[in-house]
Amino acid sequence: MVSITLENLTKMYGNTIAVKDVNLQIKDKEFFVFLGPSGCGKTTTLLAIAGLIKADAGEIWIGDELVTSAEKGIHKPPQERGIAMVFQDYAIYPHMTVFDNIAFPLTISKVKKDEIKERVKKTAELLGISQLLNRKPRQLSGGQRQRVALGRAIVRRPKVFLMDEPLANLDAKLRVQTRTELKKLQLELGVTTVYVTHDQVEAMTMADKIMVLRDGLVEQIGTPDDLYNHPSNTFVAGFIGSPEMNFIDCTLVEEREKLCLDAKEFKISLPAETFPKLKSYIGEEVIMGIRPEDIYESKSVKGTTQDNAVKMTLDLIEPVGPFLLLHLRAGRIPFVATVKQTRAKLGQEVVMEMDFDKIHIFDKKTAKAIL
Amino acid sequence: MNLSFGRVFTRETMVNLLFVLPSLVLVGYFVYVLIGWNIVVSVSDWRGLTPSYNIVGFGQYITLFQDPVFLTSLTNNLILILLFVPSSLALGLFLAILLDSKIRGEGVFRNIYLLPFSLAFVITATLWAWMYNPDVGVINTLFQAIGLRFLKSGWITDPNIALACVVLAIVWQFSGYTMLIFSAGIKSIPESQIMAAEVDGAKGFNLYRRVVIPQLKTPALSAFVVLMIFALKVFDFIYVLTGGGPAGYSTYVLPLLMFRETFLSTHFAYGAAIATLLFLLVLVIVVPYLYLSSRREKD
Amino acid sequence: MRIPNPRRIFLYILLIFFAFVFLLPLWTDITTSFKSIHDIIYTIPVEPPLSPTIEPLITAFNIMERPLLNSLTFTAVATLFSCLLGSINGYALTKIRFRGANTMFLLFSIGIFLPYQAVLVPLVLTMSRLGLYNSIGGLILTHTTYGITITTLLFRNFYGLIPDSLIMAAKTDGAGTWTIYRRIILPLSLLPFVVVAVLQFTSIWNDFLFGVTLARGSEAMPASVALANLKGTTEVNWNVQMAGALWYALPVLIIYLVLGKYLIRGYMAGAIKG
């Protein structure tokens, strides 16, 4: 049972915060993703778990073992943590053959030669690189090198896999392919995995749970579903999902016993269930968020009198494979909507409806109110 | 470039060639013409102060191999290669590894180790003459003062160990250079490889042996060539430190022999033959190296 | 390399030991240069002087004044010329496409490794025929020419890093070969010039072979030859000898302290000494 626990983990570089107060629990066999833009601290956290950097505050447990404690002065070296790591540039040794590269951790632990041979062969088979065992890294393609790096990590049967953007250097097509393979592999091997990426698509498709970081601070931890449907702030809401969520500044007003979002160019009335949560915000400025996929052409006859309908002008249609991106405008407020098809023409006025269930409202100072 | 297909010497080409013409002329003459001229002298019968160009064949070369001083010189050069080159490389590597350990004042130490290399051989030879002087020199008086009298020696006045003393001094001078080359090599290894090796269990000595050192082949080779060629060309240092002695010829090397034969004994043809031989020895090392490195550039 | 703590002390001990070894000869050079004859008899070399004096330095300077001046002159001029020509050659080899560029480069490269003994005799003859034997001019010519081989290599490597697109843009703007050199390459060459100049200066200043072969006469004798003569005299006044060595080493020491990092870059760019 290999879980990972981080408690109040903090790392500083001089006066700059790399990560601060990270608290999380990773379950056994979980595929856990650290997600965020460059410089958010996700790699720092990963390196701290690996023991390659020391923590300034906080504690880390791997399994039942306390491997890092800044307060108690405990720091177990990386070699003894039972972890295996895959780096963004693969870090395979150019002067060794593929076989020797994969065998490296075993040779260091002085495993018997026969056993090494067997394990390396098995690992190579698993990854489909058996025929490359005698080659040198410079003779391999990027995808092949990545597998060698994986092989080196797997062959040790570690307690934990740590991966730092392993797909970043692959071309787009290979990336999608490898993504699936990696996930399948992880399920098969059943090893607790921590995976770092800045690509939210990767995170959403692969993760059991995601932690979103920004500037060293944790923004939200949850399943992909949680993050998508219940983002806790505008950053997470905007980071997850492509194309990005539409954000509109509004004021929450009360009109004829209904709560409305007033964006000056248009108004939307909200259903009664939302009342209790929003009561305290009446008269306040808020941010409304709605994803492009949750805006659709109105089929109802009520037109703009409907509570959730807004009249918009169609500026641009972008075909994106299976659907269309509509760039619209309500007055001067831009909207992006994803639809399967439309008969509207450019410059035409269209009535769009927003899905009530999917409207997000955020406090202007980054908190969030309701779904 | 298809435009000038039929006209090899377009006006543009001529103007361009003008740029390199002076250099071509200078280098062409002072290197290649003079080498050829030297070879001609080596097969002539020129002895004494008046030049004479009667070609008499390779007699001088045959004399060379029967001359005990020549053979001593050649042997000494080979001993230098065998002792000096590996020692400098080893010490340089050792220092480079020491400095790779996140030392405070890394730059200061590096500058100290590199300082001797920047000094002229005439200077360092003068300094080491002072070091090695058996009566009042630095080393012997130091041993005396700290109670290690039994370590005192004749150093460069002792024909048996004089050459070893020379080797020690030039290792001292060159180790900073080999250290520099190896340091650059070590720094060029991506940090992620070191991290990967650490995660996989390699520490300290093991890490260096398996991951770092095997990747230092290229810098090692270029340092190797430089050192080898120096071991053949060394002149200033020995001229000033020992003058070729003691006991006559114990520290003689080919360049010194050539110099003495040519300019002191006026055996010009003989000296030219030694010089040509020296040149060939250097070519044997340089040509394969240039070939290898130009091939690597194409990779 | 992460070495556990107790071993770090040993590491520093090693480093300091080697620092001592590398500096010892220089230290005794300095101490001895300031010692009177009395001090030389009554102290051992590693000890500092009992009553420091600049006598030896003055004596040495009187002997070496003219040679030092000679060295300064021909070294500076030869450095300038060999750098200029090297720069032009480097430019030609990388930015002007001409046939035989690679051959030219190869031929020059062999010149870098040339053991000068192989050209010494004809060189002397040439110089004497040109009337440049025993003259500063002769030394300038010699050092410039042999310097071109290495300066060309270094500049070629530097200029290879300048993107061709820059040159192509200039050409479409109507610039000719010389203009491109003057207005684009040269302004970008400040760093390479410093590196190559520092390297050349040190290497020419330190030369002995050409000095002792071509300029033994007092009119043009370089400082290196003067120092060797000083050593060769039978009355071994060590303090004067050490002082002489100090004078001769001075310019290089200054360069090393002030421009050291450029010198180091030069070494790494494939410099060959000797």
Name the least confident of A164-168, B140-144, C203-207.
B140-144
The pLDDT value recorded for residue A169 is: 87
* C241 & C137 share domain: yes
Quote the number of domains for chain B. Answer: 1
In a domain, B183, yes or no: yes
Residue at A11 is within a domain: yes
% of chain A beyond a pLDDT of 90: 39
Q: Are residues C103 and C217 in the same domain?
A: yes
Task: For residues A312 and A297, state if they share a domain.
Answer: yes
B114 belongs to a structural domain: yes
Q: For residue C249, what are the contacts with CB-CB under 8 A and spacing of at least 6?
A: B119, B120, B123, C29
Is there a single domain that holds both residue A226 and residue A313? Answer: no
Looking at this predicted complex, what is its ipTM?
A: 0.89
Residue B292 lies in a domain: yes
Does the residue A370 lie in any domain?
Answer: no
Residue C190 lies in a domain: yes
Contact B119 C238 (CB under 8 A): no
Lowest-confidence range among B208-222, C84-98, C258-272? C258-272
- The domain that contains B227 carries what CATH number? 1.10.3720.10
Mean pLDDT for the stretch of residues C87-116? 86
Domain assignment present for residue A226? The answer is yes
Question: Which of A221, A239, A257 is the last residue in one of the domains?
Answer: A239
Q: Which of B16, B131, B259 sits opposite C98 (nearest CB)?
A: B16
Is the domain of A209 the same as that of A322? no
Question: Does residue B5 carry a pLDDT above 70?
Answer: no
A147 and A20 within one domain = yes
> What is the mean predicted confidence (pLDDT) over C189-194?
91
Q: Do B210 and A104 touch (CB under 8 A)?
A: yes
Cβ C262 vs Cβ C198: under 8 Å: yes
Per-residue pLDDT at A86 exceeds 70: yes
In a domain, C48, yes or no: no
For the residues C56-72, what does the mean pLDDT come to? 91
Looking at the fold, whether C33 and C119 belong to one and the same domain comes out as: no
Within a domain: B50: no
| Cβ–Cβ contact B14 with A under 8 A | no
Residue A257 has pLDDT above 70, yes or no: no
Does residue C1 have a pLDDT over 60?
A: no
Q: Report the candidate in A285, A291, A289 with the shortest Cα–Cα distance to residue A364.
A: A285
Q: What is the pLDDT of residue A302?
A: 64
The CA distance from C2 to A362, in Å, is: 48
Q: Look up residue B235 and give its DSSP letter.
A: -
Position C188 pLDDT exceeds 60: yes
> Domain for residue C158, yes or no?
yes
| Residue C125 included in any domain | yes
The pLDDT value recorded for residue C212 is 93
C107 shares its domain with C198? yes
Please tell me whether residues C37 and C68 are part of one structural domain.
no
CA distance B89 to B179: 8
Given this model, what pLDDT does residue C273 score? 36
CB contact (8 A) between residue B26 and residue C92: no
Q: Looking at the structure, do residues A282 and A332 belong to the same domain, yes or no?
A: yes
Q: What is the pLDDT of residue A306?
A: 66
Looking up residue C147, the CATH number of its domain turns out to be: 1.10.3720.10
- Domain presence at residue B260: yes
Establish if C164 belongs to a structural domain.
Answer: yes
Q: What is the DSSP string of A305-371?
A: GSTTEEEEEEEEEEEETTEEEEEEEETTEEEEEEES-----TT-EEEEEE-GGG-EEEETTS-B---
Tell me the average pLDDT across B158-176.
Answer: 92
Residues A201 and A135 in one domain: yes
Asked, for residue B29, whether it belongs to a domain, the answer is no
- How many independent structural domains does chain C possess? 2
Percent of chain A with pLDDT strictly greater than 70? 95
* Residue range of the domain that includes A212: 4-239
A263 and A171 inside one domain: no
pLDDT band at A371 (very low <50, low <70, confident <90, very high): low
What residues of chain C lie within 8 A of the CB of B275, using their CB? 115, 117-121
Q: Answer yes or no: do B201 and A109 touch at CB < 8 A.
A: yes
| C140 and C10 within one domain | no
Q: Kindly state whether residue C274 falls inside one of the protein's structural domains.
A: no
What is the per-residue pLDDT across A68-82, written as a single tens digit (0 to 9) for each?
888 888 888 888 888
Is B188 an 8 Å CB contact of chain A?
no
pTM: 0.84
CATH number for the domain harbouring residue A336? 2.40.50.140
Return the higher-pLDDT residue of C95 and C15: C15
Query: In this predicted structure, what is the pLDDT of residue B82?
Result: 95
- In terms of domains, do C183 and C97 share one? yes
Same domain, A68 and A209: yes
Tens of pLDDT along C132-177?
999 999 999 999 999 999 999 999 989 988 888 888 888 888 777 8
Which one is predicted more confidently, B32 or C46? B32
Choose the final residue of a domain: A239, A255, A286.
Answer: A239
For residue C36, being part of any structural domain is answered with yes
* Lowest-confidence region among B173-177, C117-121, C157-161, C169-173: C169-173
In which domain, by residue range, is C24 found? 5-42
What is the residue range of B286's domain?
64-298
First to last CA, chain C: 34
Percent of chain C residues topping a pLDDT of 90: 48
Structural domains in chain A (count): 2
> Same domain for C68 and C166?
yes
pLDDT in tens, C252-261: 999 999 998 8
Given an 8 Å threshold on Cβ–Cβ distance, is C110 in contact with B24?
no
CATH number of domain containing A26: 3.40.50.300
Helix (H) or strand (E) holding A255: strand A246-255
Q: Are B164 and B83 in contact (CB under 8 A)?
A: yes
Last residue of a domain, one of A173, A206, A239: A239
